[in-house]
Structure 1
Amino acid sequence: MLHWEKGRVLAELEGWAGVQRLLVQLDAPGAESVRALAYPELTGAIAEGETVLLNTNALRRGLGTGGDALVVARADPPHGAQPAPAGHMVKTRYTPMQTIVDAIDDPASPHYPVMRSAQSLERMPVVVADLHSSLPAIIAGIRAERPGARVAYVMTDSAALPAAYSRTVAALREADWIDACISAGQAFGGDLEAVSIHSALLGAHHVVRADVAIAIQGPGNLGTGTGWGFSGAAGIEALHAAHTLGGRPVAALRVSSGDARERHHGLSHHSATVLGAGVLAPVDLPLPAMPHSGFWLSVGEQLNNAVIVPAIERGVRHRIHRVSTSGLLESLHGAPVRLSTMGRGLEEDSESFLAAAAAGRHAAALLDAEGRSRD
């Protein structure tokens, strides 16, 4: 069930690309004013004084990610004709907010001839991670090794669906740390749209001409504490897609020294489950090379016991790569966005970001001097 409320827009607050932030006075007697998010791609641009219908589920439940009211509709439709996409690709299908987008794999797309003939990633490295918060750290690692590498971010659809919701992506695009964001599956609002994770990765290579692709869910990771009840399990499909299409799958390990939950301390059970029990193809596993660190020695043992051995028993041989951490902290400190994972910053949980940066550095090291992938 949706929690519906109605109100009048008092002011437009500072937003970011693809997102309007509004201050809305609720209609009920004595009701407060609330902050609300609107996606102009869905609603059109909203002006002060308009009456809007809100979904306040997340707001009333006090959720962290997504804890704002969301504009579902406006009392009056926007004035003037709205531009119509050339294609027929529908996302958030069969919901009241389904929207038509121009997808790179739609027959009406100018990229369709390229996408129709695209078959292989030609060994392009594809970094797959559990948490959206690891995205800037992965890119920091890529830039530490190969500053000029072209990077495409593929946003999967297991968490937030609007790519515009990510302020991280908006800031990384503005700083030229990402060359394109491709929203895959039911996710929408990236620079480019794709029907599937497979099409999105092919588009990263053949349309964006990226040297490295990064595939991660958007903000709003969902976990339940059960073995398989977490949205990051979608990383299995991304790693399989990279392998199937002839890419080089690289898994960014989720680790933490600051998470008080036992299942996430050291090597997270999310990484252990995805890589030890879920993935059916060999994957590169970058691990920071810090031989005198008790934390990383412990993570190495966890990785062997929870991932390497169970995978071998299933006939899958992952590859552990020890990655130099020289210069990675400096690159992380230079990120154009604040690094934060589960509320912890770089100082509180540096190991989390080092693991992600090591994956980025390893992916960049797989490229030759011209940016082409090599073994």
Structure 2
Amino acid sequence: MEKKKLVACDVDGVFAPILKIQGQPGIDSGYFAQFVAGQLAGGRGPKFLADAEVIYSIGVQVQVAQANGRSVDLTEKQRNVLDEYAEFLPSLQKLVPGIDYPAVFARLWKENKPATLKLLESVGSEYPSMNGADGFIKEFLAQVWLISMTPRPIISAFGKRFGVPAERIMATDVSVVDGNILGLSNGVKSIVQGKRKQELLQKLLGDFPGLPIAIGDSSGDWEMLRFSNDQGGLAIAFLPNQGLLRKVLSLENAVVFCEADFTALSRVVREFDGRTASISPSKNICTVEQCVEKFDELSATISKEREKQEQFYGPLGEQLFEKLTGA
């Protein structure tokens, strides 16, 4: 008898593309809403997005330097950003690996108070979806749970388009007063990221026992993917960034998608029975063994594919940006 499956999916980078908007790369639906709110508030959005990029670059430098036993030399620009976010980034001030992204996220929402519930819902209702994502969600509608760091109003509106019930959406809760977003509902504890994603999946398996299949694209999904693997389930790294790609190499039941192929994703979910050997080979899917053998080549292929996605869906994002800002 086939085991019942529980499919836990990240949204941005899997079902919703990462965009390049107004010259700013790496925009997901949450940052898209933040960017729009910033523009409506007088153009503050780009600054916060630029700060996030600088913070990310610092984190990468710190991890690389410590891995090689070297000290970290920061530029004046990087130090200025650290000073501005010192209250929220004590770990970076001490140059300890790991960035408190939830704190950064909280700061962004706190600063851009003009963001409204209506804006977030509009973004979720109209943000572009990856080609083929709708077919996958509808096929596994009874088994899919959306687990995302992005604010709940965005993910709820996005999921509603495909019929995902509100009770199967787990996302970052925000505080809404008179229709305005005033920050996170419970501070950084509201953030559905990293360890929190693992905890939610663990609770789901307690309430709805089954064979877990976790799908994600970034380091923030790592704990959820690892937990799925540890429970005898499958970890799917979908066009993963390099941080996640390196981490999944340690897992036994994991596959890596180097293209956004939802037909292949549907087949993998159908075929998986607790063993990666049950999954039919495909040129778009790599096993952990193949990733180890051709890591640099695979990493380059995925980076190009992620860039291609940004360019392909960019015009749709620009159109939505113009519509929401009245530009």
The answer to which structure has the higher helix fraction is 2
The answer to which structure has the higher strand fraction is 1
Q: Same fold (TM over 0.5)?
A: no
Length-normalised TM-score, structure 1:
0.27
